[in-house]
């Protein structure tokens, strides 16, 4: 199903630390619903990211090659204000479980209060990705577990390299 509307710009924000196949699934599905999907990496040093913003943006760019209507960007500050600056009318968010919904609902309502002209659109995680989180992937990789099939191959290599650096 394609509801492709050329004039609609959507923002898909996140930390993407690291990018997972669940994120990629949402990017692929979300981009079919809008004219332009801006995948925006949040710069939030309070989360103590494993990869810096530029590294995360590079991983995303590698993963979305060939997705013509997807752009990679970074931001900090209020999402609603960033979305308005980018001319977006939609914020795309993924929902894996009820706990995600509770948090995302609060965020969506606050964003609506700040920018009533910007809608939040929720997409449910694909059933194969409903358990997947960046936090869980990092923990498995840090402990030497197999994360193939959970992240793109390039991300898997970067995780292995990063955790082998930390052991030296």
**What are the pLDDT tens digits along the chain (168 aa)?**
444 478 999 999 999 999 999 999 999 999 999 999 999 999 987 778 999 999 999 999 999 999 999 999 999 999 999 999 999 999 999 998 888 899 999 999 999 999 999 999 999 998 888 888 999 999 999 999 999 999 999 999 999 999 987 664
Q: Which residues have a catalytic role annotated?
A: 23, 47, 96, 134
Q: Is the bond preceding 18 in cis, omega lying within 30 degrees of 0?
A: yes
Residue 12 in contact with residue 92, Cβ under 8 Å? yes
Residue 4 in contact with residue 35, Cβ under 8 Å? yes
Residue 123 in contact with residue 1, Cβ under 8 Å? no
Which CATH class for the 9-130 domain?
A: alpha beta
pLDDT confidence of residue 17: 96
């Amino acid at each position: 199903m394609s509801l492709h509307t050329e004039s609609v710009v959507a923002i898909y924000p996140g930390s993407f630390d690291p990018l997972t196949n669940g994120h990629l699934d949402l990017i692929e599905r979300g981009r079919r619903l809008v004219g332009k999907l801006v995948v925006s990496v949040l710069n939030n040093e309070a989360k103590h990211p494993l990869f810096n913003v530029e590294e995360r943006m590079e991983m995303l760019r590698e993963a979305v090659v060939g997705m013509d209507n997807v752009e990679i960007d970074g931001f900090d500050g209020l999402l609603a204000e960033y979305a308005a600056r980018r001319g977006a009318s939609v914020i795309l968010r993924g929902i894996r479980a009820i706990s995600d919904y509770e948090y995302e609902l609060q965020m969506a309502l606050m964003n609506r209060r700040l920018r009533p002209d910007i809608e939040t659109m929720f997409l449910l995680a694909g059933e194969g990705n409903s358990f997947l989180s960046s936090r869980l992937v990092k923990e498995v990789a840090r402990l030497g577990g197999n994360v193939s099939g959970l992240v793109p191959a390039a991300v898997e290599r970067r995780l292995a390299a990063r955790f082998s650096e930390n052991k030296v």
